[in-house]
């Protein structure tokens, strides 16, 4: 059921010019709910709100959703509640206590929840796979956590050119299902990551050097807007919103399905794994790895785009270790493009021909649930000097936290290659603000896991120092790039601001058009908002 099209477009006139907005100024939430079959007057607590649309809060919102949807609403002090709140990846995201958890199963139920939240002014969080690291990104204290887990559709089109993928899926089920039809979509590289967050923030895949990021391979978004209206958003229908959703996060609505371009991958087979190397204080292993990494990220990205890489530096029991995760988009053993890497001694090598699903399971093993986590992002021009500098600063700062219980510190390096940025320009482009001329970029993801709350502050400080020192150096040597990757950024980083002033202004304008009263800014406080870093807002 869709709302009366009379509500679709209105024209508001300021002093100088008239601007098209999506929602009329006299939009009536109770009428809109009636359009979805919900008679507010028949819901005891909501009835008192008909006249004054405010203040009564989450007790009324949760109570009404419970009356309407029964067991799809989970209340505090139940085992289902505890099971849900402990299911996030990071311990920090497990800490907020929502007033209730709502698990819609149909898109119209999402519309009803959004409208009830507006009527009661009850804030909410949107959760897909729950792998954002910091508290509140997809969890909320005192509000409604909307879990999209029931949106788990995976439907391949009969022509095998595209697939509808629900945001309740994790990448492992997506790949396992699609491999039976010899295709894949552009998505995450670790089994349990959610489709929703990864795709709305960007989405780097093993195949990105050929096809681009996940956000650039979405053909259509089905979106529930602030007015509860369900839209198909694509290159022709609402192209402004289509551009915004390709990296704009949760600022424009709740995505209830993604139609993604499907790519052939017979039997899901490819090649990949990790090579772990040890650096002692005299060896040349790390400099050699850095050379291999930079070469593959520059010329290598053009000479054989099937190749992908992730180079991590870490420390384990006082040893300096690196892990080069290498992948090839075809089931070819030891492809020559990796010869430079293979010449560097490794103490463990798991590379083999295997399925994509199998590879995502291997990478999941090193990312357990339920411990404390922080992720930070930075970008620089890709050079050997800059890459070596980032690595050196990571090891220089590490002693300040090396004794923290359960610490697994890592500086994870990737390249945003020129072919990846070229793919971003297709179908109207995306808001990330990257141009092929500024690439290739070195993308740093500082990521640390640990056990004790008592160590939070010094571990955050450690990450901040690595970012600040390397960014300062990059400015001195002309290697600075302002882009912050949403899916790796910390709560202290202003992601949308990093897209550039022009793109930010355009995103703000699109948000004002489709969400005139700012529902996804004010009532959805978690994640990366349009107006700055999460922790300062
Ligand atoms: C172990 C691990 C491996 C990773 N691997 C990769 C990788 O290979 N490539 C990569 O690019 N990134 C990777 N990431 C980063 C990952 O993309 C982010 O953590 C991402 O936020 C996870 O998405 P999620 O749906 O699991 O998280 P969630 O915490 O559920 O969501 C993240 C954000 O997106 C919003 N959101 C989610 N779904 C919707 C929706 N349907 N509508 C509106 N808003 C929504 C949420 O409100 C939240 O703010 C990895 C992260 C981890 C922890
Ligand atoms: C919305 O419409 C209902 C009737 O459908 C009316 O009773 C109510 O006063 C209206 N609310 C506002 C805020 O205008
Ligand atoms: C009920 O749950 C809330 C939130 O999780 C908690 O603060 C409260 O102590 C619980 N009450 C009981 C009786 O367990
Ligand atoms: C690890 O790297 C740091 C910084 O380069 C160095 O000081 C330290 O000696 C190295 N440790 C080992 C065991 O080589
Ligand atoms: C390397 O480290 C070992 C053990 O820590 C030490 O004995 C040796 O002197 C170091 N070598 C150099 C060149 O620093
Ligand atoms: C991947 O496949 C290999 C070989 O078939 C198998 O031994 C291994 O258990 C699988 N690993 C995972 C994580 O599924």
Whether the CB of 358 sits within 6 Å of ligand 6: yes
Whole-number Å distance, alpha carbon 17 to ligand 1 midpoint, is 39
Sign of CA dihedral 397, 494, 445, 477: negative
126, β-bridge pairs: 146
Whether the CB of 51 sits within 6 Å of ligand 2: yes
Tokens standing for residue 31: 């009428």
The torsion angles phi and psi of 342, rounded to 5 degrees, stand at: -70, -20
pLDDT at 51: 53
pLDDT at 473: 98
Tell me which residue has its CA closest to atom 7 in ligand 3: 97
The torsion angles phi and psi of 382, rounded to 5 degrees, stand at: -80, 115
Contact (CB, 8 A) for 155 and 164: yes
pLDDT tops 70 at residue 61: yes
Which of 12-21, 142-151, 478-487 is predicted with the least confidence, judged by mean pLDDT? 12-21
Rg, the chain, Cα only = 23
Which residues are near ligand 1 (CB < 6 Å)? Answer: 89, 126-132, 137-138, 148, 167, 188-190, 193-194, 196-198, 200-204, 249-250, 254-255, 367, 487, 526-527
Q: Considering the chain, what is the average pLDDT of its residues?
A: 94
Q: Cα separation of 266 and 260, whole Å?
A: 18
Average pLDDT (69-93) is: 98
Whether the CB of 25 sits within 6 Å of ligand 2: no
Average pLDDT (256-276) is: 98
Q: Which residues contact 26 (CB under 8 A, 6 or more apart)?
A: none
Average pLDDT (32-51) is: 84
Whole-number Å distance, alpha carbon 131 to ligand 1 midpoint, is 5
Whole-number Å distance, alpha carbon 359 to ligand 6 midpoint, is 8
Whole-number Å distance, alpha carbon 510 to ligand 3 midpoint, is 40
Whether the CB of 281 sits within 6 Å of ligand 4: yes
Q: Which domains, from first to last, does the chain contain?
A: 9-147 (3.30.43.10), 154-264 (3.30.465.10), 268-496 (3.40.462.20)
pLDDT tops 70 at residue 17: no
pLDDT at 3: 36
Find, among 260, 234, 215, the residue nearest to 430 by Cα: 215
Tell me which residue has its CA closest to atom 7 in ligand 1: 188
pLDDT tops 70 at residue 417: yes
Tokens standing for residue 80: 């289902």
Tokens standing for residue 61: 């919102």
Which of 23-27, 274-278, 341-345 is predicted with the least confidence, judged by mean pLDDT? 23-27
pLDDT tops 90 at residue 13: no
pLDDT tops 70 at residue 536: no
254-261/218-224 β-pairing: antiparallel
Question: Is the whole-model pTM more than 0.85?
Answer: yes
pLDDT tops 80 at residue 11: no
Ligand nearest to the CA of 388: 4
- What percent of the chain shows pLDDT beyond 90? 90
Average pLDDT (138-154) is: 98
Which of 46-55, 157-166, 427-436 is predicted with the least confidence, judged by mean pLDDT? 46-55
pLDDT at 46: 81
What b/e string do you get for 141-160 counting C-beta neighbours within 10 Å, with b at 16 or more?
Answer: eebbbbbbbebbebebeeee
pLDDT for 203-219, tens place per residue?
999 999 999 999 999 99
With tokens 């509808």, the residue in question is 164
Sign of CA dihedral 22, 249, 298, 262: negative
pLDDT for 161-191, tens place per residue?
999 999 999 999 999 999 999 999 999 999 9
Whole-number Å distance, alpha carbon 282 to ligand 5 midpoint, is 8
pLDDT for 365-378, tens place per residue?
888 999 999 999 99
pLDDT at 50: 56
254-261/162-165 β-pairing: antiparallel
Average pLDDT (54-74) is: 89
Which of 16-20, 224-228, 317-321 is predicted with the least confidence, judged by mean pLDDT? 16-20
Side by side, the strands of the sheet bearing 100-102 are 73-75, 100-102, 144-147, 124-127
pLDDT for 356-367, tens place per residue?
999 999 999 888
Contact (CB, 8 A) for 450 and 406: yes
pLDDT for 340-352, tens place per residue?
999 999 999 999 9
pLDDT at 55: 47
pLDDT at 45: 80
Q: Cα separation of 5 and 22, whole Å?
A: 11
Q: Of ligand 2's atoms, which has the minimum distance to the CA of residue 34?
A: 5
Q: Cα separation of 444 and 462, whole Å?
A: 15
For 378, the enclosing helix (H) or strand (E) is strand 372-381
Q: How far is CA 109 from the centre of its chain?
A: 24
For 172, the enclosing helix (H) or strand (E) is helix 171-179
pLDDT tops 70 at residue 4: no
Find, among 528, 485, 9, the residue nearest to 238 by Cα: 9
With tokens 């839209």, the residue in question is 231
Winning range, highest mean pLDDT, from 10-14, 45-49, 125-129, 533-537: 125-129
In this prediction, residue 20 has a pLDDT band, given cuts at 50, 70 and 90, of: low
């Amino acid at each position: 059921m869709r709302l009366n099209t009379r509500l679709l477009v209105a024209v508001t006139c300021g002093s100088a010019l008239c601007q098209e907005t999506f929602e009329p100024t006299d939009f009536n939430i109770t009428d809109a709910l009636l359009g979805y079959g919900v008679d507010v007057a028949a819901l005891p607590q909501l009835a008192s709100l008909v006249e004054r649309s405010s203040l009564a809060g989450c007790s009324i919102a949760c109570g009404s959703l419970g009356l309407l949807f029964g067991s799809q609403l989970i209340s505090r002090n139940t085992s289902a509640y505890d099971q849900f709140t402990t299911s996030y990846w990071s311990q920090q995201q497990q800490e907020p206590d929502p007033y209730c958890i709502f698990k819609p199963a149909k898109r119209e139920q999402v519309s009803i929840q959004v409208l009830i939240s507006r009527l009661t002014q009850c804030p909410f969080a949107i959760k897909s796979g729950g792998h954002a690291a910091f508290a509140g990104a997809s969890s909320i204290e005192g509000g409604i956590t909307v879990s999209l887990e029931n949106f788990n559709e995976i439907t391949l089109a009969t022509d095998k050119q595209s697939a509808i993928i629900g945001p309740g899926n994790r990448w492992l089920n997506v790949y396992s299902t699609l491999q039976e039809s010899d295709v894949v979509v552009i998505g995450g590289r670790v089994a349990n990551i959610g489709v929703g967050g990864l795709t709305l923030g960007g989405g780097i895949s093993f195949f990105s050097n050929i096809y681009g990021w996940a956000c650039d391979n979405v053909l259509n978004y089905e979106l529930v807007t602030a007015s509860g209206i369900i839209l198909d958003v694509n290159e022709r229908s609402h192209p402004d919103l289509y551009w915004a959703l390709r990296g704009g996060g949760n600022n424009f609505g709740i995505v209830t399905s993604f139609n993604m371009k499907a790519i052939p991958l017979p039997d899901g087979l490819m090649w990949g794994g990790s090579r772990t190397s040890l650096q002692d204080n005299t060896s040349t292993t790390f400099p050699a790895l850095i050379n291999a990494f930079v070469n593959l990220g520059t010329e290598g990205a053009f000479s054989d785009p099937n190749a992908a890489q992730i180079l991590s530096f870490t420390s384990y029991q006082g040893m300096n270790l690196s892990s080069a995760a290498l992948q090839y988009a075809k089931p070819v053993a030891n492809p020559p493009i990796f010869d430079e890497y293979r010449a560097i001694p490794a103490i463990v090598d798991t590379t083999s021909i295997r399925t994509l699903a199998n590879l995502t399971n291997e990478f999941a093993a090193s990312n357990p649930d339920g411990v404390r986590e922080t992720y930070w992002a930075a970008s620089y021009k890709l050079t050997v000097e800059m890459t070596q500098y980032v690595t050196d600063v990571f090891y220089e700062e590490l002693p300040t936290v090396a004794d923290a219980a359960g610490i697994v510190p890592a500086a994870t390096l990737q390249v945003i290659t020129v072919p990846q940025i070229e793919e971003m320009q297709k179908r109207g482009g995306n808001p990330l603000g990257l141009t092929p001329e500024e690439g290739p970029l070195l993308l740093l993801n500082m990521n640390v896991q640990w056990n004790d709350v008592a160590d939070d502050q010094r571990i955050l400080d450690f990450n901040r120092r690595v970012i600040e020192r390397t960014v300062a150096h990059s400015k001195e040597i002309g290697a600075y790039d302002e882009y912050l990757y949403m899916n790796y950024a910390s709560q202290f980083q202003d992601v949308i601001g990093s897209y550039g002033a022009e793109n930010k202004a355009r995103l703000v304008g699109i948000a004002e058009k489709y969400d005139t009263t700012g529902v996804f800014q004010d009532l959805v406080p978690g994640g990366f908002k349009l107006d700055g870093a999460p922790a300062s807002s």
